[in-house]
Amino acid sequence: MGRATNSAIQANANKPKPSAYIGEVMHNCFVQPSIFSHTCVVAVSCDSINFCGHALLHIGGTGWYFYVAGFNEVPRFMNEAGYKRYLKEGGKYEIRRWAVPIRNALGAHRKLEELLSKRWQWLLLPSNCVSFVEEIVFAGGSNAHLHYNCPRWKPSNENHTHLPCRRIRDGCACVYRHAHVCDGRLRRDSRDIIVFHP
């Protein structure tokens, strides 16, 4: 290879890689309160700097996804095609999603508009993407929440025994009896972990 070819290859190798798609900033909220009749919380896997993963709010069936994506950033939104692009370019995958009943669509809509208009002060676990989603669903009259403030942390089948769910207001409380396993043998029982889901 000639010098010119080597130089071109090296120049391309030194170019910064394009950043993964993280959604768009919404300047005018076009979402209507009626779209909250279908509301889901979506947990996706983490990227290299975020061990917890992300929680997103999905509203309107094939509608819109909302979440916060930075330490002092305005929230982002994306449609279904944008969500698929977000997963693909970020090397993420969906962990789970669950429906959340919203009894006060106008309250949820107002809270979403409020949060979209200001920067989110991300404080890692105390004020993160989970808090963002919870603020909106709480304003919508739901008391659904993630037991952990880290979407990635959830009971695994290997270390937890799933006890029968109990119906409670707005959903179901599932109790996982945590079992510490060492060398393939049960060593001790730990506390019960209660995970709420609608």
Over the stretch 30-64, which tens digit does the pLDDT of each residue have? 889 999 999 998 989 876 666 677 889 999 888 89
Residues 31 and 118 in one domain: yes
Alpha-helical regions (H) of 40-140: 80-90, 105-116, 129-139
Would you call 85 exposed, middle or buried from its count of C-beta atoms within 10 A (0-12, 13-18, 19+)?
middle
Residues 138 and 40 in one domain: yes
Counted domains in the chain: 2
Q: pLDDT > 70: what percent of the chain? A: 57
Residues 42 and 75 in one domain: yes
Owning domain of residue 45: 20-143
Q: First and final CA of the chain: distance in angstroms? A: 63
Q: Are β-strands 160-162 and 120-121 bridged in parallel, bridged antiparallel, or unpaired?
A: unpaired
Query: What contacts 51, CB < 8 A, 6 or more positions away?
Result: 150, 152
Residues 85 and 180 in one domain: no
Instruction: Work out the number of other CB atoms within 10 angstroms of the CB of residue 67.
Output: 24
Residues 114 and 37 in one domain: yes
Instruction: Work out the number of other CB atoms within 10 angstroms of the CB of residue 188.
Output: 9
Residues 53 and 137 in one domain: yes
The pLDDT assigned to 98 comes to: 84
CA 188, 190, 191 angle in degrees (round to 5)? 160
The pLDDT assigned to 107 comes to: 96
User: Do residues 139 and 115 touch, judged by C-beta distance below 8 A?
Assistant: no
Q: pLDDT > 90: what percent of the chain? A: 28
Query: Phi then psi for 112, rounded to 5 degrees?
Result: -60, -45
Which of 9-13, 65-69, 76-80, 88-92 is least confident?
9-13
Residue 148 inside a domain? The answer is no
Residues 64 and 133 in one domain: yes
Residue 177 inside a domain? The answer is yes
Q: Is the pLDDT of residue 173 over 80?
A: no
Instruction: Work out the number of other CB atoms within 10 angstroms of the CB of residue 39.
Output: 24
Between 28 and 189, whose confidence is greater? 28
The pLDDT assigned to 71 comes to: 76
Residues 99 and 120 in one domain: yes
Residues 139 and 160 in one domain: no
Residue 137 inside a domain? The answer is yes
Per-residue confidence band for 14, with pLDDT thresholds at 50, 70 and 90:
low
Distance CA 193, CA 93 (A): 25
Residue 41 inside a domain? The answer is yes
Average pLDDT over every residue of 60-79: 88
The pLDDT assigned to 113 comes to: 93
Between 47 and 88, whose confidence is greater? 88
Between 35 and 126, whose confidence is greater? 35
Residue 172 inside a domain? The answer is yes
Q: Which two tokens stand for residue 87?
A: 């997963």
Residues 171 and 193 in one domain: yes
Task: Say whether 98 sits in a helix, a strand or coil.
Answer: strand
Query: What contacts 21, CB < 8 A, 6 or more positions away?
Result: 78, 82, 85, 86, 89, 90
Per-residue confidence band for 6, with pLDDT thresholds at 50, 70 and 90:
low
